[in-house]
Each structure stands twice: as C-alpha cells, then as structure tokens.
Amino acid sequence: MKSICGRRELISAFMDGALSGKETAAMDAHLETCPECRKEMAAFRNLNGLLRGMSDVAPSDDFNRGFWRKLDAEKARKPLWHIFNPMTWGWQPAAAFGVIFLIVGGIAFFRATPLSRINFVSDAAFQEIVDAAAIPISEDLDFFQDMDLISQLDFLENWEAVNRIEEI
C-alpha cells in the first residue's frame, strides 16, 4: 500500500510562500529526498499554469450602460428615514407639522394629566373612605399567631409547639 507523505499538505502553502522561514527551509530539505512530494508540487505548478492561462471574458456592450443606470437609480433613492425628517420637507410643511404636533400633543397631555382626577378630601373624610373599604379582620388574633407558627414549623422537630395549639 502506497504511503502518503505526512508533509504533502504543506506543499500548497510552500508553493505560495505562505510557510514560515523555518518551515520553508525544512520543506526545501524534504523535497530533495521525497519523490512523492516533488511529484505533487509539479502537479500543483502545472495546475496553476493551466488556470492562469484561462482567457478572460470581455464586458458586454450593455454592461456600462446598465451600471450607470443602476447607479442613477441608487443616487435617486432616498433612505427611508428621510421621509420622517421634517428638515427635508421645506419650511411650510414643516411649520404646519409643528403646529399640528403642538395641538395634538397638548390635547393628549391634558387628557392624561391626573390633575383633573384628584379629589381633594380632608383627613376625616379620607378615614371614612378607608373604613368603608376596610377588609373585615378576625378579632381572634391568637388564631393568626398560631397559624403563623404552623406555617413555619417543621412538624417533626417541634411537637411541643404544635401541641400548644388547642384547636388542632
């Protein structure tokens, strides 16, 4: 079975001068003793010669005309943000926009302001409102203390505390 030289992959870069000084010197020395790599390099050089010998194609008759037309269209095209920039509109539309903006903005401001919705009440009246909306609270505060204890107890470690709760 034919063995493949381990340095074969470096031949391409060596040919293009893309190896370091040290690698290049090593490759130079290697090529003197490796017919496989020499053959590979000859094949790559022939390939390069073939490819570089390919003829060019010429631009079509329409290429220039087509390009300048595209470029004119490109120059005429304004970026989207231009539409929203009043500075590009001229003074009359910009002034009209400013006035409309002030009117609409003012209306929106006054409708949204909390000033129209504040009820000025005395302290006594405020307390009546609170009392009327108050949530009924259990008079048995001990029950709530017990519940608080239960919710935090680890039952396995605090039997004494649990036993203190008479209702359970």
Partner 1 sequence: MNTDPEVKLMLRFKNGDERAFQSLFTIYRRQIINFCFRFCGDRAAAEDLAQDVFIRVYRAAGRYEAKARFSTWIYRIAVNVCLNETRRQKNKYMIASMDQPRHASDGRPVEYMDERSPLPDDAVAAKQRDELLRDALLRLPERQRVAMMLRTFHEFSYEEIAGQMRISVANVKTLIFRARERLKEMLAHLI
| Residues lying near partner 1 in the complex (CB under 8 A) | 9, 11-13, 16, 18, 43-44, 46-48, 50-52, 54-67, 69-71, 74
- For residue 134 the two structure tokens come to 């108050």
| Residue with smaller CB distance to partner 1, 3 or 55 | 55
Give yes or no for a contact between 21 and 30, defined as CB atoms under 8 angstroms apart. no
Amino acid at position 165, single letter = I
Rounded to a whole number of angstroms, the minimum distance from the CB of residue 118 to partner 1 is 54
Rounded to a whole number of angstroms, the minimum distance from the CB of residue 52 to partner 1 is 6
- For residue 113 the two structure tokens come to 């302001």
| Residue with smaller CB distance to partner 1, 51 or 130 | 51
| Residue with smaller CB distance to partner 1, 18 or 103 | 18
Rounded to a whole number of angstroms, the minimum distance from the CB of residue 41 to partner 1 is 10
| Residue with smaller CB distance to partner 1, 20 or 151 | 20
Rounded to a whole number of angstroms, the minimum distance from the CB of residue 46 to partner 1 is 5
Rounded to a whole number of angstroms, the minimum distance from the CB of residue 84 to partner 1 is 21
Query: How far from 53 is each of 1, 42, 56, 102, CA to CA, in Å?
Result: 36, 17, 9, 71
Give yes or no for a contact between 162 and 147, defined as CB atoms under 8 angstroms apart. no
User: How many CB atoms sit inside 10 A of residue 158's CB?
Assistant: 14
- Geometric angle at alpha carbon 149, from 148 and 155, rounded to 5°: 130
What is d(CA 7, CA 114) in angstroms, rounded to the nearest whole number?
81
| Residue with smaller CB distance to partner 1, 29 or 47 | 47
